[in-house]
Amino acid sequence: MSARLTRLAAAAVASLVATLALALPTAVSASAYTSDEEVQVSTTSPAPGGSVTVAADGFGANTDVEVYIYSTPVLIGTATANAAGEVSLDVTIPSSFAAGSTHTIELQGVDASGNPYTVSRAVTLAGGSGSGSSSSGGGASLAQTGATLVPIAVGAGLLIVVGGLLVATGRLRRPASQR
């Protein structure tokens, strides 16, 4: 019976390793999303109706790039990346957006391999509780959204392993005639 228990323990460990491997985040080549530090802005607190210069790189050479501002997605500019995949343009913040509100400026295009490529940057519109600081990189940050699935997946994997061990232990304790 010890050989059977050894096989059962090995199966439990293998299922836990498989659960962890599936739960860990992996890179998705079809949707390359990068952090907000990848977009440079002339100011992190533009006024509603005012303009801001946005710049980023990593796009495919001579490809089209669209610039949106979110919470409510609004197309605020388009440009063509240069031969090095860099883009820089002036965009106007919609005057209908409330002063002091935080929005995300997002540049969408494709990378050198033709895969979708998106970079973004949070800005707080001047006239409200924003800091009014000016910057060409760093400083603003996006809120983290979504659930962290790794702890949930690890917990689920542990429950599966413990359940399997309990079932196996129950089978080992039964007489051979009842198995």
What does the pLDDT profile of the chain (179 residues) look like in tens digits?
566 667 767 776 766 566 655 554 433 333 343 344 588 999 888 999 999 999 999 999 999 999 999 988 999 999 999 999 999 999 999 999 988 899 999 999 999 999 999 999 999 998 754 333 333 344 444 445 555 666 777 777 778 888 877 777 776 676 666 65
CA distance 132 to 114: 37
Residues 107 and 66 sit within 8 Å (Cβ to Cβ) = yes
Tell me what pLDDT residue 81 has: 95
The CATH class that applies to domain 32-124 reads mainly beta
Tell me what pLDDT residue 26 has: 39
Burial (0-12, 13-18, 19+ Cβ within 10 Å), 103:
buried
**What is the dihedral sign for C-alpha 6, 7, 11, 14?**
positive
**Domain extents for the chain?**
32-124, 146-179
- pTM over 0.85? The answer is no
